[in-house]
Amino acid sequence: MQWFEPYPLYISIIAFFIFFLSIVLLKKPSNLVRLFLSICLMLSSLFMISTALELYIDDFNAMQWLRNIQQIALFLCPVFLFGFAKEIAEPNAVKNIKYMIYLGAPAVIGIFLIFTNPIHHWMRSSVTTDTIWGLTEITITPTPLGITFIAYLLFLTLLAVFTFIRNMHDLPSHLRNSHLLSSIAILTPLVSLCVLPLLSVKIPGQVALSFSLMSVLLIFIFKRYDFNSIWPVSRHQILESLDEGIMLFGPNYNLLEINQAGYKLLKRWMSYLDEEIIIGQKVDQLFTDKRILKGVYQHLSTSFEWKVELAGEYIYLQVNIVPIGYYGRDIMLVVLTDITEKKLIENRLYTLAHYDSLTNICNRHSFIEKYNAMAERKKFPISFLILDIDHFKQFNDQYGHIVGDQVLKEFAVALTEFFKPAKNCSIVGRIGGEEFGVLLHKDAAQAGEQANLFQQNLTEHSISINGEKQEKITVSIGLTTTNEPISFEQMYKEADKALYQAKRAGRDRVEMINA
């Protein structure tokens, strides 16, 4: 034959082009999907190059060796195509590699039998040559055992297609085209082998031609549709650009993937973690929170706030756990979002809305809310004390408002320490100015006893004025009690009447109305 033949040259050019792209796919960021696709492309290019050489040369023994080399690609390519489809559908490196080892074992045996066939003749009953378009190629008649191995390879090819089609169920509609077209691409060699003989069309290197079409289609499909997983603009880059910590846990609850944000979050409370060995850690080695473990182990879709203590301080995390993968059974997505700053702002706003800025006890609005809550829960009896600091205006007039504020703060501390919520089921608040309120879940007699005890306790408390002079403060108290739901305004009106009576009676005393 002449040294230049367009058809083998075309196959050779396409083979080198596909081989080049297979090398490109090995660039970082790397993952199993890219690796398996790259190996499939390399095997396809090997098959095509050896086919082109077979068509170029005339030596029968050399042609037979080239045909044997083609069988390496022919037997192994379906194995890696299955691994490629499986890893896209259900990412799990350990599990999928095990599948490939089991399914690839017969393919390796078949390759061994092909290369040793001249010894035992188990795979080929005859080997002849055929000339098409002036090009000579090997023609092989397989034995029943050889046909069995061919059937097995077809089974693996169809299994890869089935894996793609099954996974379409879990995909949004705009991504399903990638799986459908991938299935068509993988079926191209099989379809060409079945259809062309029916059309009585003979093409030299027919399988190599169909492999070139399959490879080009796969490259186009995954550049066009699935670049997040396959092409250099990968999901790795997308994950690393997120501020949220992203973690993927496999069927055995081991960590499959984590982005830098997630690693940094875990590192904050587990400083011993090494970035190189964190992959593969079990979920219970990374988390102790029962809600996270329950969500992952039971494959629950859940969301909650998680408070973590670090060196005496707290950080707040929003935790979202979502099952993903085929029917949500295999992969668990855990997303951690640091909401500490947001939480601090919320707490600050809550404090400003519910607590008096000077005394740090409940303000009037919050005090009324808490009364209404007690009434709604029917926590009767409810006793309401109004406390008014006696002659408070004199502190302001004699010492100034700074000292007046100091008196209010120290009085609030004394009030809070005496009416401790855990001990007295009480609520303490500043109603306004020098007027304070206390809610007690006690009857009138008990509440009156507590009020008198507080006044006695106050006589032992002195306030330092400008670091030198000591002043005593006294308080007048009005008390009312209810055993049924009434409005706060009504409670306040009754208690205020009692307070007025205490002031008229000489101050520094307790008076009761409707108690």
Ordered DSSP codes for 344-392: HHHHHHHHHHHB-TTT-SB-HHHHHHHHHHHHHTT---EEEEEEEETTH
428 pLDDT above the threshold of 80: yes
Mutual angle of helices 364-376 and 340-354, in 10-degree steps: 90
228 pLDDT above the threshold of 60: no
Mean confidence (pLDDT) of the chain: 85
Q: Which residues are catalytic?
A: 434
Amino acid at 76: L
- Looking at per-residue confidence, does 273 or 286 come out higher? 286
Percent of the chain past pLDDT 70, that is, above it, reads 90
Average pLDDT over residues 403-429: 86
Note the pLDDT of residue 144: 93
**How many Å separate Cα 154 from the centre of its chain?**
38
For 366-456, list the strands marked E by DSSP.
382-389, 426-432, 435-440
Q: Give the count of beta carbons closer than 10 Å to the beta carbon of residue 172.
A: 6
Note the pLDDT of residue 291: 94
Per residue in 119-139, pLDDT (tens digit) is 888 988 888 877 777 777 878
- Min mean pLDDT across 32-46, 96-110, 269-283, 468-482 is at 269-283
Which SS3 state, helix, strand or coil, does residue 206 take? helix
In the sheet that holds 245-249, the strands lie side by side as 255-258, 245-249, 331-338, 313-324, 302-310
- Burial code (b: 16+ CB inside 10 Å, e: under 16) for 72-92 equals bbbbbbbbbbbbbbbbbbbbb
Long-range contact set of residues 285-293: C-beta below 8 Å, sequence gap at least 24: 286/255, 289/319, 291/319, 292/319, 292/321, 292/334
Note the pLDDT of residue 445: 93
Q: Are 185 and 226 in contact (CB under 8 A)?
A: no
pTM for the full predicted model: 0.49
Note the pLDDT of residue 158: 92
Q: Which domains does the chain have, with CATH numbers?
A: 6-224 (1.20.1070.10), 242-344 (3.30.450.20), 355-513 (3.30.70.270)
Average pLDDT over residues 444-448: 93
Residues 231, 21: Cα–Cα separation, whole Å = 11
- 317 forms bridges with which residues in the sheet? 306, 338
- Min mean pLDDT across 90-94, 248-252, 334-338, 350-354 is at 90-94
What pLDDT band is residue 193 in, cutting at 50, 70 and 90?
Answer: confident
